[in-house]
Amino acid sequence: MGTSDDRWGFGLLVVAILSALALCAPALRGQALALDEHVSYYCSGAPTVSELWNRCEEVAVLPPLSHLLERLALAMGGHSETVFRVPSLAAYVLAVPAGFWLGRIVAGPLCGGLAALIVAWHPGMLDEVRFARCYGLVLLLASLSMACLLRWRSAPAERRWLAAWTVSAIALCWTHYLTAPLVAAQSVVLVFSAWHVRRSRRNARPSTALVAVIVVGMACVPLLPALLRLREWSGLIEFQRIPPTVLEAFGAPWTLFALLLVLLSCAWAHFHRRRRDGQQGLEGGGTIWMPLFLWLVPLTMIATMALLGSPMLASPRYRVMIVPASALAVGLAATRVAIPPVAACLVAGLLGFTAWSMSFSPGTAARLANPIEEEWKQVGVELASEMGDPGVLVFTQSGLAEGILLPMLADYPRLKSYVACRLGPFYTQSDRALPIPILWDVGGPLSRQYLSLLKAPEIRQVRIVGANDTDLNAQSIEVFASFLRSAGFRSTVGESRPGITLLRFERRGIEDGVVEFLNP
Neighbouring residues of 126: CB distance < 8 A, sequence distance ≥ 6: 23, 360, 362
- Give the DSSP H/E element, type plus range, for residue 393: strand 392-397
pLDDT tens digit at each of 520 positions of the chain: 456 788 999 999 999 999 999 999 999 999 999 999 999 999 999 999 999 999 999 999 999 999 999 999 999 999 999 999 999 999 999 999 999 999 999 989 999 999 999 999 999 999 999 999 999 999 999 999 999 999 998 888 888 999 999 999 999 999 999 999 999 999 999 988 887 766 555 445 667 889 999 999 999 999 999 999 999 898 788 765 788 999 999 998 899 999 998 988 888 777 765 444 444 443 333 478 899 999 999 999 999 999 988 888 999 999 999 999 999 999 999 998 888 899 999 999 999 999 999 888 898 888 998 899 999 999 999 999 888 899 999 999 999 999 999 999 999 999 999 999 999 999 999 999 999 998 887 778 999 999 999 999 999 999 999 999 888 899 999 999 999 999 999 998 888 899 999 999 999 864 434 333 334 4
What is the secondary structure of 245-274 as a DSSP string? PHHHHTTTTHHHHHHHHHHHHHHHHHHH--
**Do 83 and 99 form a contact (C-beta atoms < 8 A)?**
no
Res 282: pLDDT: 39
Smallest Cα–Cα separation from 465: which of 489, 421, 417, 500?
500
Going from N- to C-terminal start, the domains of the chain cover 4-276+285-358, 371-507
Res 277: pLDDT: 45
Smallest Cα–Cα separation from 402: which of 33, 32, 34, 36?
36
Measured CA to CA, the distance from residue 86 to residue 92 in angstroms comes to 10
Backbone angles phi, psi at 503, to 5 degrees: -130, 145
- Give the DSSP H/E element, type plus range, for residue 117: helix 109-121
* Length reported for the chain: 520
Measured CA to CA, the distance from residue 378 to residue 423 in angstroms comes to 10
Smallest Cα–Cα separation from 332: which of 382, 276, 376?
276
What is the secondary structure of 330-378 as a DSSP string? HHHHHHHHS-HHHHHHHHHHHHHHHHHHTT--TTS-GGG--HHHHHHHH
- 3-state DSSP percent of the chain in helix, strand and coil, to 5: 65, 5, 30
Distances (CA, A) of 433 to 244, 245, 419, 463: 35, 38, 10, 10
**Do 363 and 121 form a contact (C-beta atoms < 8 A)?**
no
Res 279: pLDDT: 45
Backbone angles phi, psi at 396, to 5 degrees: -135, 140
Measured CA to CA, the distance from residue 162 to residue 190 in angstroms comes to 9
Measured CA to CA, the distance from residue 53 to residue 61 in angstroms comes to 12
Computed on alpha carbons and rounded to an integer, the radius of gyration of the chain in Å comes to 26
Pairing verdict, β 489-497 and 434-435: unpaired
Res 90: pLDDT: 98
The 8 Å CB, 24+ separation contacts for 303-307 are 303/246, 303/249, 303/250, 303/251, 304/249, 306/244, 306/248, 306/249, 307/243, 307/244, 307/246, 307/249
**Do 313 and 306 form a contact (C-beta atoms < 8 A)?**
yes
Distances (CA, A) of 103 to 186, 321, 345, 412, 444: 16, 16, 17, 48, 58
**Do 298 and 322 form a contact (C-beta atoms < 8 A)?**
yes
DSSP state of 489: E
CA angle 383, 367, 135 (to 5 degrees): 110
Measured CA to CA, the distance from residue 508 to residue 175 in angstroms comes to 50
Q: Is the pTM of this model over 0.75?
A: yes
- Give the DSSP H/E element, type plus range, for residue 472: helix 471-486
Neighbouring residues of 34: CB distance < 8 A, sequence distance ≥ 6: 131, 367, 368, 370, 373
CB-side neighbour CA atoms (13 Å) of 465: 26
Chain centroid, CA 137 distance in Å: 9
